Amino acid sequence: MSALRTGWALLAGLCAIATLHAAACSSSGGDGGSSSGGGAEAGAPAATADTLTINEIVATGTEEWLELANKGATEIDLSDFGVADTDKSTKLPKISGAMRFPAGTKLAAGAYLLVVTNKKKTDPIGPHPKESCVPNAQSICFYATFGISAADGESLHVLTKDNAVVATAQYPATSAEAGAGKSVCRKPDKTGELAQCDATPGAANK
């Protein structure tokens, strides 16, 4: 019973602060199971390379963050998916340092979420309201402890719960001189190649 209450508490918190959990909110009043178990639930398929992208990255200034976007037409489940930087020795995703999304994390069609990097290990993963993310954030965020190398450039990765890579984006070293308020983002939004942009955390790229 304690596990059930914990599952419903997590779901209630997610529903209260983000539109990207809309489907979970609409079904939370029914009888039966909880959202505390891992994996995709009915009506919310797990994210794939066709539906999820790393849409924007900032690695300069006082904040480091990346933005994920659902480029598909339906809600996707990110339960137990991870976000990782690259191991400098193997050049592969650094699985041991990956941030894992809590069970029940979903992203609505067309929606965005932020992962704020270079946080302390004592900081809760989240989700956190946009006021606790980065300046001008338009979506909720999660906290990761790894940093993004602006000087050398770095690849960032989204991993399934089994550590298969479903999305990768390269932050180029030349972007270290982009300046405050600038990012590397996909143009057109969600689908294009990465290019220098004005930062739009949690919103469509311009």
pLDDT per residue as tens, the chain (206 positions): 444 343 434 434 444 344 344 433 333 333 332 233 344 445 689 999 999 999 999 987 778 999 999 999 999 999 999 999 999 999 999 999 999 999 999 999 999 999 999 999 999 999 999 999 999 999 999 999 999 988 788 999 999 999 999 999 999 886 655 667 889 999 999 999 999 999 999 999 98
What SS3 state is found at 206? coil
Q: pLDDT at position 43, please?
A: 65
Instruction: Report d(CA 192, CA 9) in Å as an integer.
Output: 38
Question: Which of 154, 133, 128 has its CA nearest to residue 201?
Answer: 133
Instruction: Report d(CA 82, CA 156) in Å as an integer.
Output: 11
Q: pLDDT at position 180, please?
A: 73
Class of domain 45-198: mainly beta
Mean pLDDT value across the chain: 82
Q: pLDDT at position 134, please?
A: 95
What SS3 state is found at 202? coil
Instruction: Evaluate the omega torsion of the peptide bond into residue 45 and state whether it is cis, within 30 degrees of 0.
Output: no
Q: Which residues contact 27 (CB under 8 A, 6 or more apart)?
A: none
Q: Where are the domains of the chain?
A: 45-198
pLDDT digits (tens, 9 = 90+) for 30-53: 333 223 334 444 568 999 999 999
pLDDT digits (tens, 9 = 90+) for 85-103: 999 999 999 999 999 999 9
